[in-house]
Amino acid sequence: AQKVTQAQTEISVVEKEDVTLDCVYETRDTTYYLFWYKQPPSGELVFLIRRNSFDEQNEISGRYSWNFQKSTSSFNFTITASQVVDSAVYFCALSERGYSTLTFGKGTMLLVSP
Amino acid sequence: AAGVIQSPRHLIKEKRETATLKCYPIPRHDTVYWYQQGPGQDPQFLISFYEKMQSDKGSIPDRFSAQQFSDYHSELNMSSLELGDSALYFCASSSLAKNIQYFGAGTRLSVL
């Protein structure tokens, strides 16, 4: 069975600090997809990134970067120079095969203070 | 770019009433998913449709049913509502080519 663990329930930082959100996953499939979604206080779920199990390249997009390591079953998300607008709940998610449902972690609430 | 449209955004119902939630997927997306998110919880998968046929089923109560219509919009029908059904209900859509689920803004259902 698939499982996603986000051990950090809540993180508080001050603006301009760097912050890393941890995600550990479990799956028996060799082909799977990992995702990060952002849920701001307004409630919508915003897609941030998708990574497939064959692509361990790290990715950087502006202030966001993702580190995927199959050896430790982790897919961590770093925000550099955090901003107040980054305050949200961040969900890591897994789908075990193409075109399947998402299993979400419990989410990490990030609070960025001015 | 067009996004997933859900209606209504907010819905208030009494216990034992029925509710219908609607979802209009992104154009040319062939799969629709429904998720339920309780307060402070992560989204839980309910049901999905691919090309108008049910493709997967999660923890959807028997009191709930859903379908996808010929124009690809989907409806989630909920009967005999209970207090515990109060939640945020998301619809998402994806295409076979990209396998990324894009979510609508959600319908917040309150059962009183």
Say if B90 is an interface residue toward chain A (CB within 8 Å): yes
pLDDT exceeds cutoff 70 at A99: no
d(CA A38, CA A92): 9
Question: Does B80 have pLDDT greater than 70?
Answer: yes
Each residue's pLDDT tens digit, B23-71: 999 999 989 999 999 999 999 999 999 999 999 999 899 999 999 999 9
Question: Is residue A70 classed as helix, strand or coil in its secondary structure?
Answer: helix
Work out the widest C-alpha separation in chain A, in whole angstroms.
43
Mean per-residue pLDDT for A43-49? 94
- Is B71 in contact with B51 (CB distance < 8 Å)? no
For residue A98, pLDDT over 90 is answered with no
By C-alpha distance, the chain B residue nearest A91 is: B42
In chain A, residues with a C-beta closer than 8 Å to the C-beta of B55 are 99
Chain A environment of B94 (Cβ under 8 Å): 99
Any chain A CB within 8 A of the CB of B5? no
SS3 B23: strand
Per-residue b/e over A71-99, b at no fewer than 16 CB within 10 Å? eebbbbbbbeebeeebbbbbbbbbbbeeb
Name the phi and psi angles at B13, rounded to 5: -135, 160
Partners of residue B31 on adjacent β-strands: B50, B94
Give percent of chain A with pLDDT exceeding 70.
98
Percentage of chain A beyond pLDDT 90 is: 82
Residue A17's pLDDT is 98
Which residue of A45, A48, A49 is the best one to mutate when testing the B interface, meaning the one whose CB has the most B CBs within 10 A?
A45
Closest alpha carbon to A67 in A21, A12, A18: A21
Please indicate if any CB of chain B lies within 8 Å of the CB of A48: no
Calculate what percentage of chain B has a pLDDT beyond 70: 100
